[in-house]
Amino acid sequence: MPASEVIYTSGGQDWDEIVDAARESGNERIVVNMGPQHPSTHGVLRLVLELEGETVTEARCGIGYLHTGIEKNLEYRNWTQAVTFVTRMDYLSPFFNETAYCLAVEKLLDVTDTIPERATVVRVMLMELNRISSHLVALGTAGMEMGAVTAMIFGFRERELVLDVFEAITGLRMNHAYIRPGGLAQDMPAGSDRKVRELLQIMPNRLRDMENLLTENTIWKGRNQGIGYLDLTGCMALGVTGPVLRATGLPHDLRRAQPYCGYENYEFDVVTDTGNDCYGRYLIRIGEMKESLKIVEQCLDRLQPGPVMLADKKIAWPADLELGADGLGQSADHVRTIMDTSMEGLIHHFKLVTEGIRVPAGQVYTAVESPRGELGVHVVSDGGTRPYRVHFRDPSFTNLQAVAAMCEGGMVSDVIASVASIDPVMGGVDR
């Protein structure tokens, strides 16, 4: 082989084009793949980085490695079955997916104001507990990706406590399908509120451990302060929301700006920072977990006995679940009542379960403040028993646009911190 001959070995549909473009530019630059299977890409995210030395001159995101087709699948399931799908999108914050979707369906049904108070309070409580568990993963994985393995151990250890509560209430640690159009799948089992109170006693000290480990840590500050800079102008231009936006000093939080589920009746602060960097986003997540604990405590004080599903039997899913030795399932007494005592009840149950509820024709957009920002859902109904179209505005997808703005001009090592500060969940990106 002639000494001057150069051999390029590459893989991937677009890899040849990328290398050719870099070679034709005439500059001595290196194009590298980071991910999608990489310990520092925060999920199955592919980053195509063009480097000049260790400086990133161009950063591009490659997505789609976790595509599930959930939005299309919803067109072939009835309105209630869809909850089982949407809960699997952003799998680190399933209760937010469920709530956003159910609020949209309830808006189409024009029953928003008749949702039982107990169901609404439980929704808020579960979302705020979910915010804590999601932020713990964000901080734990960010620490692991930058070499702070103890942060990962702390984050996942504390998350287990929250998932234990989820399991006690819904029967599942993830993918709950617990929030339904019209209310909840079932009431909170007896004693589950006590488990939440026990969590409230343990969690503040555990969060303090995480804070003491990282907040004034010289290495942590060195890896995050001044890194991944994105100011308010950049956030506005890219549609970025959540902790990344609030790290610019703007106190935009949908729980305050466009209250839903009665958030206007809860006392909490919108946490902000003015650093415009990865460190500010870390501080915001720490602060938000503390505020979520305050909201959960208020929820427990507001919990009053009552129904958790609409009284209208033409909308309410005809299910009565109970937590048995083998997990969550149909109540034997409920099944016996339908099968043995009421032919009309059996027919009604059969029609609702097989056909589903009918939702008036129209379209709505609702949004909630997820751990990553504005999680919106646009739902279109043609008057049938299945959604005509459901589209989610997932904040992870939108916020990923900021990767280039945060990373270009910085070092390769800073890419890790920047992506971790965005905290993208690829199940929501690739839905």
Q: What is the maximum alpha-carbon separation in the chain?
A: 89
Is 141:42 a contact under the CB 8 Å cutoff?
A: yes
Q: Containing domain of residue 203, as a range?
A: 70-317+357-409
Decide if 292 contacts 128 (C-beta within 8 A): yes
Q: What is the pLDDT along the chain (431 residues), one digit of tens a residue?
A: 455 554 444 445 566 676 676 666 666 678 888 878 777 778 888 888 888 888 899 999 888 888 889 999 999 999 999 999 999 999 999 999 999 999 999 999 999 999 999 999 999 999 999 999 999 999 999 999 888 899 999 999 999 999 999 999 998 899 999 999 999 988 898 889 999 999 999 999 999 999 999 999 999 999 999 999 999 999 999 999 999 999 999 999 999 999 999 999 999 999 999 999 999 999 999 999 999 999 999 999 999 999 999 988 788 876 666 667 766 677 777 777 777 777 777 787 788 888 888 999 999 999 999 999 999 999 999 999 999 999 999 999 999 999 999 999 989 989 999 999 999 999 899 88
Query: Rounded CA gap, 263 and 265, in Å?
Result: 5
Q: What CATH number is attached to the domain comprising 212?
A: 1.10.645.10
Tokens representing 217? 């840590």
Instruction: Count the Cβ atoms, other than its own, within 10 Å of residue 65.
Output: 15
Residue 10 confidence (pLDDT): 44
Which amino acid is it at 224? N
Helices (H) and strands (E) in the chain, counts: 18, 10
Main-chain dihedrals φ then ψ at residue 368, nearest 5 degrees? -130, 160
Q: Report yes or no on 111 lying in a domain.
A: yes
Find where tokens 């149909």 sit.
Answer: 330
Total of domains in the chain: 1
Structure tokens at 107: 């808006």
Residue 346 CB neighbours (<10 A) = 15
Would residue 53 count as lying in a domain?
A: no
At 4 the pLDDT is 52
Burial class (CB in 10 A: 0-12, 13-18, 19+), 253: buried
pTM of the predicted model as reported, rounded to 2 decimal places: 0.89
pLDDT for 404-424, tens place per residue?
999 999 899 899 999 999 999
Task: State whether residue 54 is helix, strand or coil.
Answer: coil
Task: Identify the pLDDT of residue 319.
Answer: 62
Residue 363 belongs to some domain of the structure: yes
Q: How many CB atoms lie within 10 A of CB 252?
A: 18
**Chain centre to alpha carbon of residue 249:** 22
Residues in Cβ contact with 334 at an 8 Å cutoff, skipping those fewer than 6 apart: 319, 320
Residue 380 covered by a domain: yes
For residue 44, the 8-state DSSP code is S
Backbone angles phi, psi at 405, to 5 degrees: -65, -35
DSSP 200-248: HHHHHHHHHHHHHHHTT-HHHHHHHTT-S---HHHHHHHT--THHHHTT
The pLDDT score that the predictor gives to residue 355 is 84
Number of other CB atoms surrounding residue 219 within 10 Å:
11
- For residue 339, the tally of other CB atoms under 10 A from its CB is 12
Give, as one character, the DSSP assignment of residue 312: -
Angle at 377 between CA 375 and CA 383, to 5 degrees: 165
Answer yes or no: is 429 within a domain.
no
CA dihedral sign of residues 358, 362, 368, 374 = positive
The sign one gets for the Cα dihedral 208, 210, 121, 399 is positive
**Helix residue spans in 65-148 (DSSP H):** 70-73, 82-86, 94-109, 117-145
Residue 350 falls within a domain, yes or no? Answer: no
Query: Angle formed by the axes of helices 117-145 and 149-170, to 10°?
Result: 160
Let me know how long the chain is.
431
User: Distance between CA 340 and CA 349 in Å, rounded?
Assistant: 13
Domain-located, residue 376 = yes
Residue 6 makes CB contacts below 8 A (sequence gap 6+) with none
Among 272, 294, 291, 292, CA closest to 283: 272
Domain-embedded: residue 229: yes
The region, left, alpha or beta by phi > 0 then psi within -120 to 50, assigned to residue 64 is left
